[in-house]
Amino acid sequence: MRIVIFGPPGSGKGTYASRLMEKLGVPHISTGDLVREEIRNQTPLGKMIEKYSSSGGLVPDETITEILKERMRSGASKGFVLEGYPRTVNQAKELAKMTKIDAVINLIVPDSVIIRRLSARLQCKSCGAIYNEITLKPRVAGKCDKCGGELFRRADDQPEVIQERLKVYREASAPVVDFYRSEGLLKDIGNEDPNADPNEIVSQILKMIKPRP
């Protein structure tokens, strides 16, 4: 199964994608995680793209497409749950050249919920699992339930960077919705409840998707 999880920052893409990975038995590919890994390792590429990520802007299409292609080459033949890409119509066209997509899940979440969620988001340094200080607390404060790794707050989850990321989403990424709607691939999921159980949303997604012939 080849699934794209699409939505604004803080709409729960990573949380749902990691749970879908377990249910579907395919890798979870997050271009945001790939970007953070390059930056953390301070590779030449990481040093070049850090300025975009830390200001809430987008990494140029060509660069992020190369990062994704490289990841696809290292194992995605049985399918994937892709999240964070595409973020522009140009990237959506590049993805269509790379692979067939079975469905695009479009998460619709009000800005108020996004801001609340991102301001309280924590992530595991080791395995990337996502928590929330209000709605999805780890069992032990500061430690990942799954691997015991240290939890951290993302540098781009600061209020002014969140506003910039939302602006970028509206301008560059929202047109991707029209692109996939016209392709007949889009499945909308509304989530207005900040305390909604992620497993509920994942069940809804599983009911909506099936492989395309």
d(CA 58, CA 169): 9
CB 202 within 8 A of CB 19: yes
Interaction between residue 177 and ligand AMP (CB under 6 A): no
The answer to whether residue 8 forms part of the interface with ligand AMP (CB under 6 A) is: no
Rounded-to-integer distance, Cα 150 and Cα 161, Å: 23
Q: Does 9 bind ligand AMP (CB under 6 A)?
A: yes
151 versus 210: smaller Cβ distance to ligand AMP: 151
Between 163 and 203, CB nearer to ligand AMP: 163
Interface pick for ligand AMP out of 48, 50, 52, 115 (rule CB under 6 A): 52
Closest to ligand AMP by CB, 91 vs 191, is 91
Nearest-angstrom CA–CA distance, 131 and 139: 10
| Site mask for ligand AMP (CB under 6 A), range 76-115, x = bound | --------xx-x---x------------------------
Active site residue 165: yes
Upper half-sphere CA count for residue 76 (Cβ side, 13 Å): 22
Is residue 113 helix, strand or coil?
Answer: helix
Identify the CA nearest to 203 among candidates 10, 20, 15, 68.
20
Residue in 116, 143, 153, 154 annotated catalytic:
154
How far is residue 190's CA from residue 178's CA, in Å, rounded to a whole number?
Answer: 17
Which spans of this chain sit near ligand AMP (rule: CB under 6 A)? 9, 31-32, 35, 52-53, 56-59, 64, 84-85, 87, 91, 156, 165
Which residues carry out catalysis? 13, 87, 121, 154, 165
